[in-house]
Each structure stands twice: as structure tokens, then as C-alpha cells.
Structure 1
């Protein structure tokens, strides 16, 4: 797997802050209407993928000089999911997703489910929102600052004292959940997706860890 980052630009909402941006060795995928935002931002994607129902005009597609993968609108996977699968096929194990939140609620929920699908394959992904980042872990753990050694994208989970971080169960049950270094700590707890007990925890130190023995956790954090 590549140590570089695969950046995905979707057709959802964009905000004033871009906490991490592509470098020379990273790979950029415009996901359907996300290409409109790439053009506004002056970013040239390597790949344009989707059924192209949300691109501004057909001329945008014909003028694109990179690789093009077009799919029928009648498909099982969302455009974003297809983009992630393509990135994995090309050897990437870390994804940063802009334009994956806001907009249509069904796409927002689908992208949260996509995070769970990604984490179940031991791959890292971050959905970037308005001063917040969302990721997922499955039968795994994160420990800050240790995760900085794995990939530069993990700086997105850097603690900001007083900022919120929520830890929620995506699966019906998450067993063996341990949280240390946050305002509210738990040890070997059993939480479910019917009770959002992990909402609005907060950073109180520069070191913290979150782990789950069995299940998938969604982690929603305000970034610096």
C-alpha cells in the first residue's frame, strides 16, 4: 500500500478551512460534481469518476485531460464509494474526503456508512466538514501522538484543548471500548448505536487513546 494520500473531492459542501491539502506524491480523484470545485480551487485531478449527473456541463468532461471513468446512473455503488474502491485498487490506504458532507442527507449518511466499510478493511479515511473531521475504527485503536508516525493525515486528529470529540457506535454493539486522555474516560465498556453516550466529550491533554475490541466506532472531532 502507498504511504501517500488519496484525496477525494465530492459534490457536497465546502468550507473556508482546508486543514490538509494534496502534495506532489498524492493522488487526486474528482468525484462527479466535485470536479466543479476542483476547477474553482485550481486543483487538477488525476482521475474524474462518476455517472456525471452533477457536473456543471458536458464541456467540463470533454475538456478534462486526465483519466476518465464514467458509470451508468443505474448502479449499486455511490460515486464516492466507486472512487474509494478505485483508490484502493491503485494501492492507497489513506483517504481524505472533501465535499462528502452537507448537501443531500442521503449522501451524507451514505458517506458515514462508507467510512465504516473502509475501516473494516483496515484502511484509514477522513471526512472533512466545517471545522470538524470524521473517521471510523473497527476492532482497532488510535493513540495520539503515536498515530502521527503512520501517515501525515493523522494530524487531523490532533487534540485541541477544550474542543469537542464524540465517539459513537456505528455497529449495533461496540464491545471493549476504552477511552483515555479525554474529559470522560471509560474502560472496556459496551456501547450501542441506540444510545449516543459518547457525544460531546472533550480534549483535556495532548495525549489520548480510543480503542474498541469488537465493533465500529465513528469519531467526530473538532480540529485545530
Structure 2
């Protein structure tokens, strides 16, 4: 059985998919700052809570303390974001999959820091599959290699270079295929592609690529 960890941050509620759709007995839930209260409010008891908790008031913090057996509370004046601390903890557990919820919408600095955090060298080298998920998007960051794509309820697939030029990009099974094509940072060439078969693939030789699976709400 796969080891799966879900992180819930405190981003806008309307962008978070129904958590019950992503819950199962084997899932390890982690509340990130205010995300821990949202989990408790929905009847999901997290295994761990991490953050400085500066977004909860005293009454809410006492509620969190009363309902959790384990948490890590940090000084607000720190070098890492709450999400980075939570992701580091999750990676130390050596899971197969990490999914991050509540990290999109609201403050753009929070979103971009979470997205670019997935491109850190030590994260990319980790064998864990990591996704940022909201109601309309699934975001992953890819290092060079070959990846299978499967048609799902997110029909659009886009690719964005995030650290310079991508070399050898090949897309198969999609409406707009590419073969051994370079793309540079800032290019919109690979926006809003679509799978035309049940399965496709993306491969490239050099660079770091952000993949976004999307749907219209």
C-alpha cells in the first residue's frame, strides 16, 4: 500500500476541493497553520500540525491544542514558510505521494513560494510524487525524464519552463504534439494543450518544467 501524506494550508476555502473526496483511512493528514482548524472543523483529525499559527486567535489555538496529540509550533520570525516546514516534515516520512491543498488563491507570494518550492534541488531529487491541488488545477514540477499522462477530469495540460530553457521537449497523445523541441522561460507555446487519447506522454532532456492539469469551473 502506498504511503500518502496530505497537507492542508489556509488558502481560500472556495478553492479547496471537498476534502472527503480525498480522504481515506490510510491517508496521513497534516494541518499547516490555519489549515489544522479547517481539518478539525470537517471532522478530520490530522496526525501532525505545523506552523507559527499566527493566523489563529487564542480561542482557536486552545481548540487545536485540545484536539491534537502532536504539533510543531514555530516562532513567526523564521527563515522558512509554514508550508516549507510542513513539506520538509512530510518528506522525512518517506511517503510515495504528497498532495498539497489550500496553497492557491489569496496571497500570490504564498502561492508562488509553494509552487517554486517544488523546484528545489533536494525536492526534485526525492522520489516522492508531489502535487498542489485545488478545484481547477493539479500542479507538479518535473525534472528531465519521461512521464506518462492519463486522461482524467482535468482536460487541459500546460507546461511552463521555470528555470531557463527546456531542451528536447516531446509531447505525445495530445492535440498539439511536439518532437525534440526547445522552449524558453516565458514561452506560452505549451499552454492549454489537451489529451486526444486515453494516454500520452511528456519527455525532455534538460531544464525544470511545471506541468498544470486544469479544468474550467
TM (norm. structure 2) is: 0.88
Query: Take 1:63 and 1:220, find their aligned partners in 2: how far apart are those partners?
Result: 38
Rate the CA distance shift 1:83–1:16 in 2: closer, same or farther, 3 A. Answer: closer
Change (3 A) 1:50 1:74: same
Equivalent-residue separation in structure 2 for 1:124 and 1:211 (angstroms) = 16
Judging changes above 3 Å, is the alpha-carbon distance between structure 1 residues 122 and 138 closer, same or farther for their aligned structure 2 residues? farther
Task: Confirm whether residue 70 of structure 1 aligns to residue 66 of structure 2.
Answer: no
Residue 128 of structure 2: which of 123, 126, 131 is its match? Answer: 123
What residue number does 1:36 align with?
37
Match of 1:213 in 2: 205
Answer yes or no: is 1:180 the counterpart of 2:172.
Answer: yes
Deviations along 1:16-63, whole A, 9 cap, x unmatched? 734851322221110011012112321110001011111243213321
Structure 1 pair 61–160 and aligned structure 2 pair: CA distance change class (3 A): closer
Offset of residue 223 of structure 1? 5.7
Unmatched segments (≥5 aa) in structure 1: 146-157
Length, aligned pairs only: 210
Q: Answer whether contact 2:45 2:68 (CA < 8 A) is retained.
A: no
* Residue in 2 that maps onto 1:6: 5
Kept in 1, the 8 Å contact 2:160–2:185? The answer is yes
CA RMSD of aligned residues (A): 2.1
Helix, strand or coil for the counterpart of 1:67? coil
* Paired residues of 2:156 and 2:195 also in contact (CA < 8 A): yes
Confirm or deny: 8 A CA contact 1:137 1:218 kept in the other structure: yes
Greater CA drift, 51-60 or 206-215: 51-60
> CA–CA distance in 2 between the matches of 1:80 and 1:60?
21
8 Å Cα contact 1:50-1:70 kept in structure 2: yes
Distance in 1, matches of 2:171 and 2:179, equals 6
